[in-house]
């Protein structure tokens, strides 16, 4: 096992917004990619973190494009009393092996999540996802209907159907520039993800998560996000209860063209907007978000 350890100053700091010790992270674990699916990957392993009761319904956490399983520190700790909490590392993140395709699509990531769940022998599940992870969740629910009982999406993103090729090229070039210096330098992106009120300790925590980003996995996920799928086109497959939690200061995936669209298109979706939070409300306001999640999952 590999234990992910931050610098001592980060590990021992007090999380300012809640005046409580920073929860420790679980150990990093590994699962084999199913043999039949291995031609789609550059290797044979998934990595992930887990906590909670192994006999409980799995709650699978899907991180954003610049994050990984470490992003879910507060949820791995707080939600483990009632759930089997599992935070995957998407292909190309931490030590999960990459997809072979440079431009994976909606089906590719849906199948990757299905492969991960097969490796852990998980059938039905609940999902919590942020940003890129919310796209993966929507694609999975489309191609594997009936398996997801409930979903919580934060910093939600829809597909980008009919985006002009020039705009896609501009975004890809911008993203390549963001990660051009490598994973460590990518940590500078933290300011774009948080609200203006975010504590310095919160920014430091997010910065360390960003620094674990592998450029190729990141760019594969970016290209997927620019694909031609559009969630309202398959809304009939997303009939499970869905809670959308949006930071009022989310400038990455603005509410009006993402979460608000999903709330109208999906038959059982409900939107909650949190003041004083940006693109990562589960990190900026973990107490409020965890309370919303716990109430929603027990409804």
**Distances in Å between the alpha carbon of 132 and those of 38, 56, 174?**
23, 26, 17
Run of H or E including 237: none
Q: What is residue 17's predicted lDDT score, i.e. its pLDDT?
A: 44
Residue 279 is part of a domain; what is its CATH number? 3.40.50.1820
Query: How far is it, in rounded angstroms, from Cα 198 to Cα 178?
Result: 22
Residue 157's nearest CA partner among 294, 279, 67 is 279
pLDDT value, residue 159: 84
Structural domain including 79 reads: 2-297
> So what's the pLDDT on residue 20?
57
Residue given tokens 């431009």 in the structure block? 103
**Which pLDDT belongs to residue 6?**
33
Contacts of 188 (CB under 8 A, 6+ apart): 207
Q: What is the pLDDT of residue 199?
A: 95
* Number of neighbours of residue 154 by Cβ within 10 angstroms: 30
Collapse the DSSP code of 125 into the 3-class scheme (helix H, G, I; strand E, B; otherwise coil) and give the result: strand
- Give the pLDDT of residue 163: 87
CA atoms of 293 and 106, how far apart (whole Å):
26
pLDDT digits 0-9 by tens, 146-196: 999 999 999 999 988 888 999 999 999 999 999 998 889 999 999 999 999
Low-confidence ranges of the chain (pLDDT < 50): 1-19
pLDDT on residue 7: 33
pLDDT of residue 35: 98
How many independent structural domains does the chain possess?
Answer: 1
Q: Please, which residues bridge with residue 29 across strands?
A: 48
**Three-state secondary structure along 140-166?**
HHHHCCCCEEEEEEECCCCCCCCCCHH
pLDDT at 90 (0 to 100) = 98
pLDDT at 44: 98
pLDDT computed for residue 160 by the predictor: 80
């Amino acid at each position: 096992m590999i234990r992910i350890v931050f610098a001592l100053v980060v590990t021992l700091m007090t999380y300012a917004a809640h005046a409580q010790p920073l929860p420790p992270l679980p150990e990093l674990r590994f699962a084999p990619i199913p043999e039949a699916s291995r031609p789609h990957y550059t290797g044979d392993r998934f990595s992930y973190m887990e906590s909670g009761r192994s006999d409980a319904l799995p709650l699978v956490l899907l991180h954003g494009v610049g994050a990984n399983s470490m992003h879910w520190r507060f949820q791995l700790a707080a939600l483990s009393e009632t759930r089997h909490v599992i935070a995957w590392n998407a292909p190309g993140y931490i030590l999960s092996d990459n997809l072979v395709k440079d431009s994976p699509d909606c089906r590719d990531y849906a199948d990757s999540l299905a492969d991960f769940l097969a490796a852990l022998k998980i059938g039905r599940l609940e999902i919590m996802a942020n940003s890129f992870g919310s796209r993966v969740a929507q694609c999975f629910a489309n191609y594997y209907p009936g398996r997801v009982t409930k979903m919580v999406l934060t910093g939600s993103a829809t597909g980008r159907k009919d985006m002009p090729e020039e705009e896609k090229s501009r975004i890809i070039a911008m993203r390549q520039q963001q990660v051009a210096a490598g994973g460590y330098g990518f940590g500078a992106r933290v300011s774009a993800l948080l609200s203006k009120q975010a504590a310095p300790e919160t920014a430091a925590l997010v910065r360390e998560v960003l620094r674990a980003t592998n450029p190729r996995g990141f760019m594969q996920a970016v290209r997927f996000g620019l694909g031609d799928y559009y969630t309202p086109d398959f809304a009939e497959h997303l009939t499970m209860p869905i809670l959308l939690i949006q930071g009022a200061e989310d400038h990455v995936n603005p509410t009006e063209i993402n979460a608000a669209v999903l709330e109208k298109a999906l038959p059982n979706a409900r939107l909650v907007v949190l003041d004083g939070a940006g693109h990562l409300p589960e990190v900026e306001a973990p107490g409020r978000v965890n309370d919303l999640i716990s109430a929603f999952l027990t409804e």
